[in-house]
Structure formats: C-alpha cells, structure tokens
Amino acid sequence: MRQTLLSRGYLRLLLLSALLGVPVALACFFFVALQHELQHWVWQSLPEALGLTGPPWWWPLPTLLLAGLVLAPILTRMPGRGGHLPVHGLGGPPVGPVELPGVVLAALLTLPLGVVLGPEAPLMAVGSGLALLSTRLRKGPPDPKADAVVATTGSTAAISTILGGPITAAVMVVEAAGVGGARLVALLLPCLTACATGALVFTGFGHWTGLSVGALTLPSSLPRSDPDAGDFLWGLPLAALIAVLIALARRLGRRTAAWTGTRTAWRVVACASAVGVCLAAYALV
C-alpha cells in the first residue's frame, strides 16, 4: 500500500486530480446555473408572461409532453442514449466524451420541463466525460485501470458541487465502487483531491457571479424535537412500508425501462405524458 501511494504514477494521478477539479467545477457551475435559469423561466416567467399568476394545475401536461418530444430523438439518434438508467442505481461504465453531448442535452432540455430526477447523474456524466477527455492527452498506451480511476475522480468532483461538500460524495463513491481496503483508499485520495479544488472554484464563482445554483444540503437550523415512544411506534412500521413502496417503484421502473427499449420514441413520449397527467392530478388534490 505504501509503495503504491508513493509511486511516481500515483503521485502524477493526484496532481492530475487536483487539476481536474477546476474545469469540472466550472462546467458543473454553468450547467447547474443554466438549468436553474431555464427552470425559473418555464415555471415562473413564462406563466407570468401569459398573464397567469402562477403555473396552473394543467401546466405539467404540455411541459412533460414537450420533454418527451425533445428527449425521443436524443435517445434514438445520439450516442449514449441520454445517459444511464436511474433505476439501475449508481455504478456502471463511465460516460465518455462521445456520449457526453447527448447526456447534457437530455438533462438541459428535460429537467427544466418537469423531469424531477435531478441533476446528480448528469453532473457525474459531465465530470466523467471531461476527465476521460483529459486522458486522451496522455502519451503512451491506454491504461483502462487508470482511466477508470480518473473517470471516478471526475464524477466525484462533479457531484460534490451539488451535494455541498466532498464527504457525501465520497460516501457515494464507496457505495458505487464496491471495493474496500487498500484499493478503496487509493481510489478515495484522488477523488477527495479533485473535490477540494473543485469546491474552491464552485464556491468562488457562486459569490463572484451572484448566480444561484442551489445545493442538496439540509437547512442550517432544524427545529429541535426529541423522539419519544410514539415516534418509534409509528416510525418503524412506516419505514418498513416505505421500503416496500421503494421496492415496488423499482420493479415498475425496470418494467418501464424494458418497455421503452423497443419503439423507444413514441413510448418515451407516452411515459412523459403519463407523468404529466400524474402531476396535474396531484395539483388538483
């Protein structure tokens, strides 16, 4: 382990990780800022321009239909099919530079229209794609193991920008990588190095530009409440019920993914329209 960490190749990897954090953070900053601006325009500025006080209950119907229509050609004609399937969870092969444009387009064109999966997976794809793009400048034969570490480093630096810090991103890496011991330490060090430099850039640009990019962080002050016996009595069965609902939702997601695997274009539009109907019905309740 000590020999690996002090080797010349690993030290070069740490230096590359520190340098990667800067462009990855810049790309993620402008990606999230643009996504927020588009979302504000769709759900606030556009209804006000049409003389509405806010988005009416039927607003998700056209927005989700439009999301399906713009997503269909991306899935069927562009490399990468818009990114990984969320129902498969974390992990999987990294997104390369060739697949990156399709992933970014799919996210920027659908997230503001009401697709509520969030920007985490697209951000990880941006980090992975930019990191792998940097490996093409390296001389010598390709190194699949080093490329995998570099891609993971870029993804971690990207996701840490929206999670508000490197610790949560590191936990996600531990979950997705599925390794332990010395291999996990060797993987975490470059990831945390990239997160550190990326956090400086991301935070600095936020203060400098004044753009609101948001973060998936808890409020700084939570209401104080000590749990009592009643909380445990209803909390435990509620947790079990939530676990069952999550399992059913994943099963539905897998079946939907298999269903949209053929005749992708019109079935994706149908699924997006169905989500719009659900959101409109929820707004009426």
What are the structural domain ranges in the chain?
Answer: 2-215+229-284
pLDDT higher than threshold 90 for residue 73: yes
- Whose CA is closest to 34, among 108, 104, 128, 105? 108
* pLDDT tens track for 2-30: 666 677 777 888 888 888 888 898 898 88
**Percent of the chain at pLDDT above 70?**
85
Residue 68 corresponds to which tokens in the numbers above?
């399906």
What's the pLDDT band for 106 if we cut at 50, 70, 90?
very high
pLDDT higher than threshold 80 for residue 75: yes
What pLDDT, on a 0 to 100 scale, did the predictor assign at position 268?
94
The dihedral built from the CA positions of residue 254, 278, 81 and 144, taken in this order, carries a sign that is negative
Residue 111 corresponds to which tokens in the numbers above?
């997230």
pLDDT higher than threshold 60 for residue 216: no
Q: How far apart are CA 262 and CA 136, in angstroms?
A: 34
Residue 104 corresponds to which tokens in the numbers above?
């970014």
pTM more than 0.85? no
What pLDDT, on a 0 to 100 scale, did the predictor assign at position 93?
76
Which residues of 66-184 form beta strands (DSSP E)? none
CATH 1.10.3080.10 fits 2-215+229-284, yes or no: yes
pLDDT higher than threshold 70 for residue 206: no
* pLDDT tens track for 127-185: 888 888 887 776 666 677 778 888 888 888 888 877 777 777 777 777 766 666 667 77
Q: How far apart are CA 46 and CA 260, in angstroms?
A: 31
pLDDT higher than threshold 60 for residue 219: no
